[in-house]
Structure formats: structure tokens, C-alpha cells
Amino acid sequence: MLDWMQKHRKWLVITIWISVIAFIGAGGIGWGTGSFGFNTDKAAEVGDIKISKRAYQMAYQRLYNEALQKFGGNFDEAQAKSMGLHIQALRDLIAYAQLESFAKHLGMAISDEEVLNALTQIAGFQVNGNFDKAMYEQYLDSVGMRKDEFEQDLRKELLVRRVYEELMHAIPQTSATERLSISVPLHIEDQFEFKVLRPKPASAIKVSESELKEYYEQNKQKYLEKEHYQIEYITFLQDNQSASTEEIAQYYERNASAYTNQDGDITPLDLLEDKIAREIKKDKAFVESKRNFSALRDNKIAGTIIDIQASDTLLELDPHTFLTPDDISGFKTIEENAVLAPLEQDNGYTLVKLLKKIAPKPQSFESIRELLRTELINKKQRDSLKEQANNELANFKGEILSQYVSPLTFQNLAAEKKFNDNLQKIGIEPLLLQNLLSQAFSSESKEGIYESNDGKIVLYRVISQTLNPNAQNVEQEVHTFKQSGFLRFFEQYLNKNYQPKIFIQLD
């Protein structure tokens, strides 16, 4: 969460621990399914602990930046989505929230003195070994955080660290039998043979009119129009309000401290009259909209009735009235005849009443003809390539990866130029190989088929194995393995007793 923590081993261990909790706990959470709800401010919550959308975006950006650096800048949003970074970011935050709730229920707490002590020990905020307040404040400005936000995050990190330390004391020391039985399988390395299969060019794929129409009939429910709604709205314009000289003077007197220039001097009233008049009129338009809320809901006043369609951009209803995509998304979660809270406009406020939700219909065949053709060609390419892969798998001859790899050694090899040159010769990118190896190491078969997101298929086969004679850190690896088993039981407890609610769509 905090960059400086990543530079210290103790904090790195805890961060990895959080990621493990988040990963193995994912099975107990409905990602993008039953836990989904609508909320404008929160990404998720665990009990009374709220996870803001801002925190989620910051967590995602941290993971994205780490991946960008890891792959040498050869990384983009599409790859991030395929790796599930958006889900991982929320997993991590939920894991923190679950652990924080767990700690609170145990009565654990971090004092202000402990937060202050940890803050002053951060090397990035020190000059000549002493805490420098100016450097701290400069850092906060650079990342757009307030002091209370940073120190609250720090308090959470300290609390999670305390939970970590207490739990780790419960794991017994590694015995000689455990060391032997666990470390040997971890250091078995495989040598792979690969063959990359690429789809036929689109120009070589023929699609008839009858095939296209059949494909449409089979899949038309996938191509629905955007949601339609019938709404009734009234906009209360600030231009229709008034602001007397007396009201302007009183408003200025109450809020004079807000009108200071760069030197800290209060701006004279005569330079602010137009600005204050607009603010007063805007406030009156808001009050008028609130006053008429129940009247519109109860059909005592009438507005303009129109049909609208969900939009990814700003939707203009009239020259003074606009709905944002988020405004329109709000209709999904309210009942018919409900009224949204007043929506701010540049020139006033708008009340919107949902009259009817109109079920979306499939788009017409002609309107999506080219999209259908493209998707059917892609399907034929995939089907043909899968058939070829299945036919060749048993007897294929491919390129051999010169280095032996295992789940423990791949990350180190990925940083070596010789290894990457070998990959390039075979026609496999490091990210693709990482995902492929994840599949291969979890399979009981020595050969298999891996389908990449860019349309390629890779045939792979383990052709030999070896036991790494230079294995190091065996004690730590075995202890980590035991920790993982312990954490599987712990995550079951967390998911049972601290179930998250998710308010953003992750699909």
C-alpha cells in the first residue's frame, strides 16, 4: 500500500502475506456476482470498514505500476485486465479490511504514540537521521493525500503487522522430516518443449450469408440494445431566481474568509457581487428542487416526459439539463416512480423521476452485420486452431527451452537476457510463459494446450526433469509452505465471519 514499506523486508513479508490471504480467500467471495450492489462512494465494505473507490483506484495503480516495471514497460491495460489486476487490487483491500476487523474484535489497537513513532522512523521523511516535517508534507502533496489519510493507513498497517506477528508465533518450527518431504518437490525443475500455433489470416476464412444469419439467431441475446428508460424531469434554473443587494451583502459577510487572494487579503465585495449573486441563485434553485421533490413523486406537478437510452457519455436532455452515465446507471437500482435526489447542473438542479424501465431488445441483424462477421471469423479461427492443436499434441516437434524452470526459479530467469532471447526465438513472450507455466505446473499431465488471449495456442511438453542441486533458503521455503496451509484455514474463518459486500462491477 505504501511504497516505502516495499523497501523493507519485514513489511514486504507482511505485504506478501496479505496477497496470499487475498488470493486463497477469493474462492469464498462472489466476485462481480451476488455481492454486487450500487453505491456511488464505496468500492466495498467489510462490516463497518468501508473501502472507498479512491483507495481501490490507488491500489490498482500500484499493482499496474509494479507490472509495468516488471515487464520492462511492455505492459498495457488489456494485459492488466487479462491478469485480473482489477480483481487483485480489491482482493488485497478486502483482506486488509477483514484482518482489521479481526484485530478489532480481539481488542487489538494501535496507539497514537505508536503511529507517531513509526512515522518518524520512515527513512524517506528523514534528514541526517531526523524526521523532517517539511519532507513529509511535500510527499503528501505529491501523492494528493491528507495527513489524516496517510496516518490512518499507517495505523492499519501497524495493526495488520501485529496480527501477523501474533499468528506466526502459532506455527511450530520446521522439523527435519518436514524439511525433506517438502523441499524436494519444490526444487524439481522441468525442461519444456513448445510449439506455437497461429490462426489462419482472416482473409482466408469464408463466411456465407446463411452462416451469418444462423450465428445471429443463436447469439442475438448477446447483442442487446442499451437499457431504455422513460423518465420525467424538471430543471430548476438559477437564472429564474433572484439575489437582492441585502442578500449579497449578508452572504459576503458570512463567507468573507473564503474570498482571499494569493497574498491572503480578503477580496472587496464590489469585485465579487456577480459571483456571489450566482452562488445565492444556485442555492435557491437547490432549495426549490428539494421543495418540489415530493410533489413530483406524488404526481402533483408535471415535468417533461422522454425516453432515454443508457450512454457512455454525457446525455443532453435540453440546453440546460444533462445526465451523466452514473446518473443513468442509478436507474438500475431504483423502483419505477422513484425520484432521484436533485442533480446539479451548470445552471441549477434537476429532479428526475423514473416512470418505466424498458427491457432491452436484440439489435437488428443489419445494424450489427459487420460485428457478427468479425466475431464469426474469430470463432472459426479459434475452432480451427483448437482442432489443429488437438490433432498435433501427441506427436508435435517444437522448440526446446534451454533453461530448466520451476515455480520458484521462473521469476529469477525472467530477468536474464539469455533466457528472454531464447523465448523470443521460440516466439513466446514472458507474460504468456508465466501464465502457461502456471497452468502446466498445476496439471498432472506432462503435455498440454495453452490458449493465449491474443489468439495463439501453445503446445507444451515436459521432456526432462532435474533436482536443483544449488537450492537455497530451504528452511524459509518450507516454513512458507507451512504458513500457506495455516492461512488456508485462517481465510476460511475470515470469509465466514467477515464477509465483504462489493459495490463495483469487476467483470
Question: What confidence score (pLDDT) does residue 471 get?
Answer: 57
Q: Which residue has the higher pLDDT, 89 or 237?
A: 237
- Using 50, 70 and 90 to split pLDDT, how confident is the model at 469? low
Residue 177 lies in a domain: no
Residues 391 and 331 in one domain: no
Residues 245 and 351 in one domain: yes
Residues 312 and 276 in one domain: yes
Whether 5 has a pLDDT exceeding 60, the answer reads no
Residue 270 lies in a domain: yes
Distance CA 152, CA 119 (A): 11
Question: What confidence score (pLDDT) does residue 411 get?
Answer: 61
Whether 306 has a pLDDT exceeding 90, the answer reads yes
- Contact predicate 195/396, CB 8 Å: yes
**pLDDT for 98-108, tens place per residue?**
988 998 888 88
- Which one-letter amino acid corresponds to residue 268? P
- Contact predicate 199/384, CB 8 Å: yes
- Using 50, 70 and 90 to split pLDDT, how confident is the model at 20? very low
Residues 459 and 337 in one domain: no
What burial class does residue 383 get, using C-beta atoms within 10 Å of its C-beta: 0-12 exposed, 13-18 middle, 19+ buried? exposed
Residues 279 and 156 in one domain: no
- Among 85-99, 140-154, 245-259, the range scoring the smallest mean pLDDT is 140-154
Model confidence, pTM: 0.47
Question: What confidence score (pLDDT) does residue 30 get?
Answer: 45
Residue 276 lies in a domain: yes
Whether 165 has a pLDDT exceeding 70, the answer reads yes
Residue 101: which domain range? 42-171
Residue 151 lies in a domain: yes
Whether 58 has a pLDDT exceeding 80, the answer reads yes
Residues 377 and 448 in one domain: yes
Residue 50 lies in a domain: yes
Which whole number is the average pLDDT over 61-66? 86
**Considering 323, 358, 393, which residue would you say is the last residue of a domain?**
358
- Using 50, 70 and 90 to split pLDDT, how confident is the model at 486? confident
**Considering 341, 358, 375, which residue would you say is the last residue of a domain?**
358
- Using 50, 70 and 90 to split pLDDT, how confident is the model at 409? low
Whether 179 has a pLDDT exceeding 80, the answer reads no
Question: What confidence score (pLDDT) does residue 35 get?
Answer: 38
Question: What confidence score (pLDDT) does residue 313 get?
Answer: 85
Question: What confidence score (pLDDT) does residue 415 get?
Answer: 66
Whether 352 has a pLDDT exceeding 90, the answer reads yes
Residues 342 and 413 in one domain: no
Residue 34 lies in a domain: no
Question: What confidence score (pLDDT) does residue 114 get?
Answer: 92
Which whole number is the average pLDDT over 230-251? 94
Residue 119 lies in a domain: yes
Which whole number is the average pLDDT over 276-284? 94
Residues 297 and 386 in one domain: no
- Among 293-297, 380-384, 442-446, the range scoring the smallest mean pLDDT is 442-446
How much of the chain exceeds pLDDT 70, in percent?
86
Whether 183 has a pLDDT exceeding 70, the answer reads no
- Contact predicate 186/408, CB 8 Å: yes
Residues 140 and 195 in one domain: no
Question: What confidence score (pLDDT) does residue 474 get?
Answer: 66
Domain containing 60 — which CATH number? 1.10.3120.10
Whether 29 has a pLDDT exceeding 70, the answer reads no
Whether 33 has a pLDDT exceeding 50, the answer reads no
3-state secondary structure of 42: strand
Question: What confidence score (pLDDT) does residue 461 get?
Answer: 95
Indicate the average pLDDT of the chain.
83
Distance CA 460, CA 194 (A): 5
Residues 237 and 130 in one domain: no
Which whole number is the average pLDDT over 122-149? 85
- Grid cell of 18 as nine digits: 496479505
Question: What confidence score (pLDDT) does residue 38 get?
Answer: 40
Residues 233 and 353 in one domain: yes
3-state secondary structure of 66: helix
Residue 106 lies in a domain: yes
Distance CA 11, CA 123 (A): 14
Residues 164 and 254 in one domain: no
Q: How many domains does the chain have?
A: 3
- Using 50, 70 and 90 to split pLDDT, how confident is the model at 11? very low
- Using 50, 70 and 90 to split pLDDT, how confident is the model at 477? low
**Considering 335, 358, 381, which residue would you say is the last residue of a domain?**
358
Domain containing 340 — which CATH number? 3.10.50
